Structure 1
Amino acid sequence: MADISPSTVADLKHLAGEKAVVDGTDAAPLLTEWRGRWKGKAPLVLAPGSADEVAAIMAFCHANRVPVVPQGGNTGLVGGQVPQGDVLLSTTRLSAIRDVDPEGFTLSAEAGVPLQTLQETAAAHGRLFPLSIGSEGSCRLGGILSTNAGGVHVIRYGNMRDLVLGIEVVLPDGRLWSGMNRLRKNNTGYDLKHLFIGGEGTLGIVTAAVLRLFPQPVDRATAFLALPSPAAAVDLLSFAQERSGGALSAFELMTDRTVDLILHHFPDLPRPLDTTAPAYVLLEFEAGRKGELTTLVHSLLSDALERSWIIDGTVAQNTRQAEGLWSLRHRASEAMKKDPSFCVKCDISVPIRAVPPFLEAADRAVDQAVPGARVIAFGHMGDGNIHYDILGPEGGDDKVWRARAGEIEHLVHDVVAAHEGSISAEHGIGLLKREELPTRKPDTEIDLMRTIKAALDPHGLMNPGKLL
């Protein structure tokens, strides 16, 4: 924990200016992870209003050896945004849309712009910014860059790393690097932006970015399907990609227990199907012209039914029905938060073909370790990213269950390793997986990461104690 003197805090307040200082009831929500798993502490919370102000703050902090934790919308799930006695720097006031270029299919925005605002701004110009995640109303550009967020449309558009052309970064010593180029091709050395995308704020503070936009789809088809098993989902996914010619934009897997939990905590949501099944898939197709999808989707689902890959299904007849199906999927995290049991969250990825055997092996391991534990598995089947979350047994002692969280996470991660997967697909490492990371990566890779960290942040001031 940092030891920052009162005089240093006073000097930093004066430098930042009154508008940038966040205190009292406004600061309190920024110090606690939204599920309450981590409660942080900070001698000062600052929300600068420009990249130049961020640079001035970081130059002071570098000179005075003051550690800084950057924070976006505080929606992270691994504790990466929680200060531990460090200065907290919120990017919420970096909220400008700097430029939209519809002809060049780019949008330039500052780090504090909410994801939903990015989507709406692109749509207002007849373009699409495709990243979509459950927290899109509150998460912000800087946060989704620093965690390399993925979401539901990675299968067609890629994750955040694929959607960025250029970035602007304040380095740990206060230098401002403006790499805000809009070029699709720029082979002039190391592509430095990728050091900061996914870097969890440990190498610098992203203050703005140039994002890729896409044509706005004219037609969408959304379907909710009941499947006999997750294994059938693998066959269906491959079939849908082949038959749709790239039109498949989302393919979300949910187990029966996941759907039941969501409907239990959100009873106003309609059950999409009367049929119950071990697994469900929510899939969506996009096209640039009206009328292209109707025949394709019905033919595809008819053939899949004949092959016994699906048991039952429904296709949304209008936008309202499609939004209802997506609302069911996006309520998964909220449903777990509403449950009285603590939730052990494992954000993992495995090769797509390994998803069914991973689920089977992990379920068996969890049940053997804690009989009655409730696995809530759902996620982005199209890229092998499964949110494998576990609630304690109903009526069990939640304190005992919480105490075993680390043990359960390691157990699941052992199964992930056995299936050649990753212990973090899109949430990052933060505090939660920091100690485990070196045991899951080759020594050479960890050494390279430490070398980069030491080169850019030799005093360890950026988001200390996170990731490494």
Structure 2
Amino acid sequence: MKSPPLESALIDRFAAIVGTGHALRDADAVGGFLIEPRDKFHGLTPLVLRPGSVDEVSAILRLANETRTAIVPQGGNTGVVGGQVPDRSGGQVILSLSRLNAIRSIEPAENTMVAEAGVILADAHAAADDVDRLFPVSLASEGSCQIGGILSTNAGGTGVLAYGNTRALVLGVEVVLATGEVWDGLRRLRKDNTGYDLRDVFIGAEGTLGVITAAVLRLVPKPLGQSVAIVGLKSPVAALAFFAIADRIAGGSLTAFELMPRIGIEVVTKHLPGARDPLASPHDWYVLFEISSLRAEADAAATVEAIFAEGLEAGLVDDGVQAQSLEQFRAFWRLRHALSEVQKEEGGSIKHDVAVPRAKVPAFIEQANAAVTGLMPGCRPFPFGHLGDGNIHYNISQPTEMDKADYLARWDDVSALVYAIVGRLGGTISAEHGIGQLKRALLKSVKSPIEIDLMRRLKAAFDPNGILNPGKVL
């Protein structure tokens, strides 16, 4: 159901809460809030509110609930499933949390940080680093994504293998409910067995049950040494066997294990200035793996060498190179982080964020490649991602001679094939990006009727007037 247009008097009431300087109405000022990075969803809004305090967020939601005004929470606007974009009715108000950007406290002795929703991830990293700690959520968008959005989508990233999803790194949250009530759940306890865990209700809910305004983040000791290497292999089967070696030798110090196809290296080196293939000759597949040691730099380097040596002896690895400097360390990671961004230089890209059991990753890639190239000859499968946790970004670049719009018009046909294979292999349609608008209709394919019903009951209980991010998830 589309939201009705807002009357100017009501817009003025909302604007008065944050002050005219923080209530954006001009088309040029609000334009950047209405599209998302993949340019797939385009919304409309009469108003963007930028509150500067929890009290202002509370007042906004209280008025919204009273007037049945739809509110779309937005963080850094880096989401790729349309969860942060309003609909086209022009009757939904965007609630930007960017001004709630304080780090309220940091306690090295207990490894915690209390950060507001608008804190940029890179700033949280820097604050942790200042006290010799690490906040281990690692995303390519760390320079713009915000803590509130990360929690609301339960973001993953390259550190999930060792540290878990964002949910595992949150001890407590502060949430403004649809009624405007504020729940202060900023508890620093690691053990609290007192009834329902309300924290987890809001993490991953994409702003549909409440607006997260702050969180207690769990920090970890900063590694004393890190080493990264890139190796060339023949297949995902070899990469999976190589992972078993790395996992056995390194255990918890294996902090990343990223699979990259040859096409990925080719496209990055073609379009990213200064990028080059780190290996002497081309390989069908590449793996970037990272070791983080709590003992010493030499320990991390020695662990990488031991993993590489055993992989080479087992015939799984054909070649490899270990970063010998901080500059090279960053260059290797730059190759990996650029994989998503550079695909746009090759025309249209149909993208999927899926996960299957780790042992099924090679079968998934083989079957999906065969299916999509059979449907659309000349398309270029571009699977990459977090082999260590089974999360593959299965993207397909358009045939070189095909019109981009014609190609993207086949999105649903291509996705149906990919998701069918994911389902047969016991996987999921969304590993770390969320549901938003893009995958809302697909949710019933991975959730049972009782699960969908329970989710609807939660929504009705927390947001009976349906004002919080309507049309998202459910």
How far did residue 375 of structure 1 move?
A: 1.1
Query: Where does 1:59-138 land on structure 2 (aligned, <5 Å)?
Result: 59-84=62-87, 85=90, 86-138=92-144
How far did residue 442 of structure 1 move?
A: 0.8
- More deviation in 56-65 or 272-281? 272-281
Query: Where does 1:334-413 land on structure 2 (aligned, <5 Å)?
Result: 334-339=341-346, 341-413=347-419
Query: Where does 1:167-316 land on structure 2 (aligned, <5 Å)?
Result: 167-290=173-296, 291-316=298-323
Say whether 1:15 aligns with 2:17.
yes
- More deviation in 9-18 or 382-391? 9-18
Q: Deviations over 1:312-334 (max 9, x none)?
A: 00000111111000000001111
Q: Deviations over 1:243-271 (max 9, x none)?
A: 11321000000111111111111142121
Say whether 1:329 aligns with 2:329.
no
Q: Which amino acid letter does the alignment assign opposite residue 80 of structure 1? A: G
Q: Is the 8 A contact 1:226 1:275 kept in 2?
A: no
Give the structure 2 partner of residue 30 of structure 1. 33
Q: Is the 8 A contact 2:226 2:301 kept in 1?
A: no
How far did residue 295 of structure 1 move?
A: 2.7
2:281 and 2:58 map into 1 onto residues whose CA distance is 57
Query: Where does 1:411-430 land on structure 2 (aligned, <5 Å)?
Result: 411-430=417-436
1:124 and 1:16 map into 2 onto residues whose CA distance is 33
2:397 and 2:262 map into 1 onto residues whose CA distance is 15
| Backbone CA RMSD of aligned residues | 1.0
Q: Which amino acid letter does the alignment assign opposite residue 31 of structure 1? A: L
1:397 and 1:293 map into 2 onto residues whose CA distance is 48
Q: Is the 8 A contact 2:117 2:148 kept in 1?
A: yes
1:295 and 1:174 map into 2 onto residues whose CA distance is 54
1:120 and 1:318 map into 2 onto residues whose CA distance is 21
2:377 and 2:139 map into 1 onto residues whose CA distance is 32
Query: Where does 1:139-154 land on structure 2 (aligned, <5 Å)?
Result: 139-154=145-160
Q: Is the 8 A contact 2:245 2:310 kept in 1?
A: no
Q: Which amino acid letter does the alignment assign opposite residue 23 of structure 2? A: V
Q: Deviations over 1:277-325 (max 9, x none)?
A: 2211000001112221233321221111011111100000111111000
Unaligned runs of 5+ residues in structure 2 are none
Aligned length: 467
Q: Deviations over 1:193-242 (max 9, x none)?
A: 11111001110110000000011101011000001110111111111111
Say whether 1:39 aligns with 2:39.
no
- More deviation in 431-440 or 191-200? 431-440
Q: Deviations over 1:149-202 (max 9, x none)?
A: 010011111110000000000011111101000000011011111111100111
1:395 and 1:47 map into 2 onto residues whose CA distance is 45
What TM-score comes out, normalization by structure 2 length? 0.97
Q: Is the 8 A contact 1:375 1:390 kept in 2?
A: yes
Q: Is the 8 A contact 1:349 1:421 kept in 2?
A: yes
Q: Which amino acid letter does the alignment assign opposite residue 168 of structure 1? A: E
Give the structure 1 partner of residue 440 of structure 2. 434
Give the structure 2 partner of residue 2 of structure 1. 3
Identical pairs, percent: 46
Unaligned runs of 5+ residues in structure 1 are none
Q: Deviations over 1:375-406 (max 9, x none)?
A: 11111111100000111111202221111111
